[in-house]
Structure 1
Amino acid sequence: MFLLGIIALALLPALMNGLRYSAQQSTVATATRQVNGLVDQVRQNPVCGTIGSIVGTSAIPRSFADGRGQTFTTQATIGSCSAGSVVSLHITALQGSVTLATADALVMIPPNPVTVP
C-alpha cells in the first residue's frame, strides 16, 4: 500500500499538468471555432457597414465564453471596403494579452445592384 501511495504521489503532478493543458486546449479550440465562424458570418452578409459589428474591432471588441466560462475577445483589422471589391480581414481571439487564435480571410463584397427607373 505504501509503495502504491508513493507512485500515486509521483504521478499526481503529471496528472495536474495534463488537466491544465487539456483545459487550455479546450479554450483554444473554442476560440478557433469562433474565429472561423465569424469569417463565415461575414461571408454570409458581405456588407461593408456590418463587418465591424460582426467580427469586433480594437475599439469595440466582441466577447465570448467557452464551455468552462473562460472569456475571450475577438478583434479584427479590416482592409478598405467598397462595393464590388475584395476586403481583407485579420481576426484575432485574445484572452487577456494571450493570443488564442488568428485567421486571415478575403471576402468578396458584391457590387451595388443596378436599379432601372
Structure 2
Amino acid sequence: MIEIVIGLMLLGIISVAIIPALWQGYLLSAEQSATATATRELNSRIEQVRMNPTCAAVTTAVATGSQTLRGIGGDLMTVTGSASSCPASDMKVTLDLIAADADGATLARASAIVYVP
C-alpha cells in the first residue's frame, strides 16, 4: 500500500514539474502562429502585385495596407506599407510592407522589387 502512495506522490510531483514547460511551448506556438500568418499575408500581397504588375495594383496593395487582420490565435494585426513612385523611370517599384500586432510590435517585414511595364 505504501508503494502506491509513494508512486502517486512521485507522479504528482513530476506532473507539476512539467507544467511550466508545457505552458512555455503553448506560448511559443501561439507566437509563431502569428508570425506565420503575418508573413503569409505580406507575401500574398506582393504576389498579387507581381501577378498584375500595374500601378493600380501597387496602389491597392499599399492603400489597403492599414487593413486589420485576425490571426489564427484570434490576435489582431495591422499591415502597413509604402511603395516607391509608380511608374518609375526604370520601371521597377519597391514595395515595403510591415505587419504589426495590436501592441505595435513588428511581426513580419517584407520588401520586394516589382517590374511594372
Asked if these proteins are the same fold (TM beyond 0.5), I'd say yes
Q: Which runs of 5+ in 2 are unaligned?
A: 1-7
Shift of residue 55, structure 1, vs aligned partner: 3.7
- 1:115 is aligned to none
The CA deviation string for residues 22-47 of structure 1, in whole angstroms up to 9 with x for no partner, is 01101101111111111001112222
Amino acid at match of 1:5: G
- The structure-2 alpha-carbon separation of the partners of 1:105 and 1:42, relative to structure 1 and needing over 3 Å to count, comes to same
Which of 77, 80, 105 is the equivalent residue of 1:75?
Answer: 80
The number of aligned residues is 108
- 2:66 is aligned to 61
Shift of residue 17, structure 1, vs aligned partner: 0.8
Distance 2:38 2:23 in 1: 23
Which of 90, 95, 98 is the equivalent residue of 1:89?
Answer: 95
Shift of residue 56, structure 1, vs aligned partner: 4.1
Distance 1:56 1:82 in 2: 16
Amino acid at match of 1:25: Q
Amino acid at match of 1:93: A
Report the 3-state secondary structure (helix = DSSP H, G, I; strand = E; otherwise coil) of the residue aligned with 1:13: helix
Bigger radius of gyration:
2
TM alignment of 1:1-117, pairs within 5 A = 1-56=8-63, 61-82=66-87, 85-96=91-102, 97-110=104-117
Shift of residue 51, structure 1, vs aligned partner: 1.9
Q: Contact 1:52–1:76 at 8 Å: present in 2 too?
A: no
Query: What is the identity percentage for the equivalent residue pairs of Structure 1 and Structure 2?
Result: 40
Distance 2:27 2:59 in 1: 34
The CA deviation string for residues 51-85 of structure 1, in whole angstroms up to 9 with x for no partner, is 2322446xx61222222222211111211111671
Report the 3-state secondary structure (helix = DSSP H, G, I; strand = E; otherwise coil) of the residue aligned with 1:69: coil
